[in-house]
Amino acid sequence: MASKIALGIEFGRRRRGALDVARKAGLDGLLVTHLPDIRYLCGFSGSSGMLFVMRDKTYLLTDFRYREQSRIEAVGVKAVICDDGFAEGLREVLESRQIKAVSGKGRGGAPGGKADVGADSPHGTAEGAHRILAERAIADDVRVTSKKTGHGSGDELGGENGKKDGSLISIGFDPEHLAYAEVIRLRRHLRGLARLVAVKKPPTSLRALKSNAELAAMRKGIYIAEKAFREALGATGDRCTEAALAAKLDAAARRMGAESPSFETIVASGKRGALVHARPSRNRLSGVAVIDWGIVLGGYCTDSTRTVAFGRVPAELRKAHSLVLEAQERALKATRPGVKAREVDRAARELIQAAGYGKAFGHGLGHGVGLEVHERPYVGPRSDDVLEEGMVFTIEPGIYLPGVGGVRVEDMAVVTRDGAEFLTALPRTLYPADYL
């Protein structure tokens, strides 16, 4: 487990990256409402919260249920317990945005001491002092108190209208993750203090670029997911049902340390394999089965699919399986920084279309994976996303034939400096014995 200091450095880097993007868009701060984004920026995994990010300080707004959890998980932020709702809580934070220096020995103080975070502190600017606290998690107790007179550094709120020049600060938010009614409520509460501005490309889209630490965490998750798959596959018998296999897979993953499945496990055999997102049934495993599963470990998701034979393999599905494997390899070879995601989709899709199965491949080639099992980049025929080094996404071509069955093979890949590589290591064959 990473130390609190290491986590502080990582979360501080992420918040600065998001703010750099926000500032280029003319924003003074960010209001983050999407829970995976909040976890990405401070480590808090609760199910209720907002994160208000400014240059000198970050505030986690949550409720009483998460008072202790926020203290344990959230790194480099000030937790604010909102008794009267988030809109009122945010207003109170804005009204209190005059930093009052608190006594203490700062970086060199004893554990449990308070840190001087005033603009005139020995650490220089308020930004510099906060960076020490946020990245290194030195101080155990940092309080923000209201000061009715005077002003702090240039980025503090001063006076009724927000900034020292009398203008309102601009706070960006992601309109995809904030309901219209909540926007109206927030704007009403923040009148005279701040402007809420919807942003087309949220700074938190930086989540698509995985750090080395994130990639290491995802590799651990993939290792467990694949180990669980092997165990579950080895435990199937002649009378095993789709639902039983799914349950075995989920149970094995949890026993090995997974927090949860990243989505409901899919097992669809025989003719049901043509159902792209089938729920496991009580039918016995037969013919060819599409098995799509993933886990969550340390907040990060995995997503894989294998097509496995539990009986006779129709000739058309054998052909489809070979096509899908070749399409997957073509997509991987087409992947490199600077390429549009839709070009990667095209590399796989054209092969399947040329073989006469274009209409049987009706979904996008893949999607990003990280703190969510579906996130940027989106790899489909209409995607405008441009691939960058560090992006992780699935490559999952499929062919679905009603009345016959289906085939899909899915692996997670990472964009490297000059290409891409699979993160997954499982075989891609039809035969169960090859996985054991």
At 146 the pLDDT is 32
Q: Hunting for tokens 């009715």 — which residue is that?
A: 148
Q: 324, 365 in Cβ contact below 8 A?
A: no
Say if residue 135's pLDDT is above 60: no
Residue 292 CB-half CA count within 13 A: 24
Say if residue 110's pLDDT is above 90: no
Label residue 317 by pLDDT band (50, 70, 90): very high
Q: pLDDT of 44-84, one tens digit each?
A: 999 999 999 999 999 999 999 999 999 999 999 999 999 99
Is the four-CA dihedral 146, 149, 152, 156 of positive or negative sign? positive
Is the four-CA dihedral 271, 276, 281, 287 of positive or negative sign? positive
At 204 the pLDDT is 80
With pLDDT > 90 as the criterion, what percentage of the chain qualifies?
Answer: 80
Say if residue 431's pLDDT is above 90: yes
Say if residue 119's pLDDT is above 60: no
- What is the greatest pairwise CA distance in the chain? 81
* For range 347-351, the mean pLDDT: 99
At 202 the pLDDT is 83
The full set of domains in the chain, from first to last, is 4-207 (3.40.350.10), 209-435 (3.90.230.10)
Can you give the pTM of this predicted structure?
Answer: 0.83
Higher pLDDT, 6 or 76: 76
Phi, psi at 129, each rounded to 5°? -65, -45
At 106 the pLDDT is 37
At 108 the pLDDT is 36
At 2 the pLDDT is 64
Higher pLDDT, 163 or 282: 282
Q: pLDDT of 179-233, one tens digit each?
A: 999 999 999 999 999 999 999 888 888 999 999 999 999 999 999 999 999 999 9
At 168 the pLDDT is 87
* For range 30-51, the mean pLDDT: 97
Burial of 365-385, coded b for 16+ CB within 10 Å and e otherwise, reads bbbbbbbbbebbbbbbeebeb
Label residue 97 by pLDDT band (50, 70, 90): confident
With pLDDT > 70 as the criterion, what percentage of the chain qualifies?
Answer: 84
* For range 348-374, the mean pLDDT: 98
* Lowest mean per-residue pLDDT among 94-98, 254-258, 259-263, 269-273: 94-98
* For range 382-410, the mean pLDDT: 98
Higher pLDDT, 133 or 338: 338
Give me 100's structure tokens.
């009052």
- CA–CA distance, 305 with 412 (Å, rounded to integer): 10
At 286 the pLDDT is 97
Tell me the β-bridge partners of 173: 31, 198
Average pLDDT of the residues of the chain: 87
At 160 the pLDDT is 32
Q: 329, 351 in Cβ contact below 8 A?
A: no
At 433 the pLDDT is 95
